[in-house]
Amino acid sequence: MTKTIWMTAAAGIVVAGLLAGCASTMQTRGADKSGFLGDYSKLQPGQSGQAQLVYFSPKANWKSYTKVKLDPIRVYATKDSDLGKVPREDLQGLVNYLDAALREQLSQDYQLVSTAGPGVLRMRVALTDAQGNKPVRGLTSTLMPIGLALSVVKTAATGTPMAVGSARVEAEFLDGQSNVRLAAIVDERAGRKVDVAGNFSKWDDVRDAFDFWAARTRERLAELRGGAR
């Protein structure tokens, strides 16, 4: 095997290892507030494994809730959001996907209901920003995809890889009878895929973020029912 061929094969193995070892979605370094939640005064920076901004009521009795009412997912775009550039059909598809992902996870532990009341946890969610991933075409090398190298540099500088998709959400849980806020979060996640050939769907990174949030919501509610903070 010539030196060039060996280096090419070795680089391919390294890249494959990097991509296989990374989760499909990562938290960005910051998430702007859209105004959807109204009052952000009690939200604090989240700890490791939590959303970027979080609030949990110390008085909430999470074990008392056996049902969940998921309000229709809202799209709440600020003037600086990229949501205004998203085609309406694509945006509706994203909203439907997030709604379905949350319902699939929540239904495993709660009865989903259409009206609020005693023993009902009401969940309000808004998609406040979304960007589709863009393939980095024509930026490849025989040794290492330049797109990957550029992405690493951009991640170091900004916390978000180049050309990946991202999504931002705000959500809150309310008591279904009193509408008292029990918890609230603001979070943004971006993809980790480096698409140098256009092999991914434009919204794959956004859907990965939705899947992550849905699964994490179920996990966090289970922790809260068990008394964890």
Question: Is the residue at 160 inside a domain?
Answer: yes
- DSSP per residue over 127-186, as a string? EEEEE-----TT---SSS-HHHHHHHHHHHHHSS-TT--EEEEEEEEEETTT--EEEEEE
Question: Is the residue at 10 inside a domain?
Answer: no
- How do residues 111-160 score in pLDDT, each as one tens digit? 999 999 999 999 999 999 998 876 544 333 334 344 444 334 444 444 44
Q: Domain tally for the chain?
A: 1
- How do residues 176-225 score in pLDDT, each as one tens digit? 999 999 999 999 999 865 554 455 578 999 999 999 999 999 999 999 99
> Do the beta carbons of residue 164 and residue 19 sit within 8 Å?
no
Question: Is the residue at 149 inside a domain?
Answer: yes
Question: Is the residue at 36 inside a domain?
Answer: yes
Question: Is the residue at 125 inside a domain?
Answer: yes
CATH, residue 80? 3.30.160
Q: pTM higher than 0.85, yes or no? A: no
- How do residues 156-185 score in pLDDT, each as one tens digit? 444 444 457 889 999 999 999 999 999 999
> Do the beta carbons of residue 128 and residue 187 sit within 8 Å?
no
The pLDDT value given to residue 158: 43
**Mean pLDDT calculated for residue range 62-68:** 97
Q: Which domain holds residue 117?
A: 27-225
Question: Is the residue at 1 inside a domain?
Answer: no
The pLDDT value given to residue 144: 39
Question: Is the residue at 8 inside a domain?
Answer: no
